[in-house]
Amino acid sequence: MEQGDYRKFMGMLGVSYIVMFSVMYLNIDQISHLYFGLTRFYMTALMIAPMALIMLGFMGMMYKNKRVNGLIIGGSIVLFFGVLTLLRTQTFIRDE
């Protein structure tokens, strides 16, 4: 499979990340409540990791490079559990 196909796959994940992150801000009441929240960032990353696995599972016939697929699967698993740990321990989140 050509490298371009995997770039498109990563591009879809990147656009999905931006859209999901942005959608999380739709529930703010006032513009003064708009601020960057690390928890939202973590939650979006937590959703992207299984999304990559699901996309690869459904479109696996399009992506035949087993090495790259393995890297995507391994990276998604590491990302999921790494972000879950950061989220559950509230790492880097300050109470202001």
Q: Concatenated DSSP letters for 24-88?
A: GGGG-SSGGG----HHHHHHHHHHHHHHHHHHHHHTGGG---HHHHHHHHHHHHHHHHHHHHHHH
34 φ, ψ (degrees, to nearest 5): -80, 115
Per-residue pLDDT tens digits for 18-77: 999 999 888 888 888 888 888 889 999 999 999 999 999 999 888 989 999 999 999 999
Asked whether the beta carbons of 7 and 66 are under 8 A apart, the reply is: no
| Domain residue ranges of the chain, discontinuous segments joined by + | 3-89
Return the pLDDT at 76: 97
Q: What is the value of pTM for the model shown?
A: 0.81
Q: How far apart are CA 57 and CA 73, in angstroms?
A: 10
DSSP annotation of 8: H
